[in-house]
Structure 1
């Protein structure tokens, strides 16, 4: 972007380790920044999910019990865009870069998808804006990747 206010941030990484979680629960890390992500065109993230129990399948299947999500918005509970995808576990004894960082876990997302999802939601007057709404049109492309809008 040519705007002085929209400068690239330094790369950063985050390591999060949890005990096994009950079904349908999540853990999150929050970072508040004064940055409107809608000013950008694309988001690319590299996500790693290590199987500490080494129970990952040896084929290329994604693990439906492991998912990554990220939220953008003015707050994390009432006004946000959310992207979610299932992850492929990496074996504890993986050594090659493609085993450690499988392509299935690389997130390449056009920010416009969030805006389009909200516009589709807003066209449907039956959906209240304070409900977390799944964008079925985006999700129809790949059922392992989902977008939600709230607010």
Structure 2
């Protein structure tokens, strides 16, 4: 289920079955021109992965809006903001919280996150419409889905 009116109406009718939340973590920055394309690609790839995961796990997973953060902001501040999201999320009966990211800098802080970090050492660039990329995404979705199911 996604964060839209139709899916949220379905969620309210069947929320006892939807026990997992997925939060895409996406870096944003405009200050370093050499990083603009890489960050935009990470945004696109993370969004594709999150949407495909939501489709694969429909009926158990709620996909939140993406959490955007300034790449060079302190992770402590971002973790505090994320924990605010988690506090809000836990007002519903979600048992499992997963954070999806391609940004390796989150790995250093995963122990303090109130959820499970799914870090993918993804590609830095490419063509999202290529057959190679579709295979990569499909393979990642299969593996991550299996991992999430192991928590259930």
Task: State the TM-score, normalizing by the size of structure 1.
Answer: 0.32
- Larger Rg belongs to: 1
Bigger relative CO (Cα 8 Å, ≥ 6 apart): 2
- Relative to the length of structure 2, the TM-score reads 0.32
Higher relative helix content: 2
Higher strand fraction (1 or 2): 1
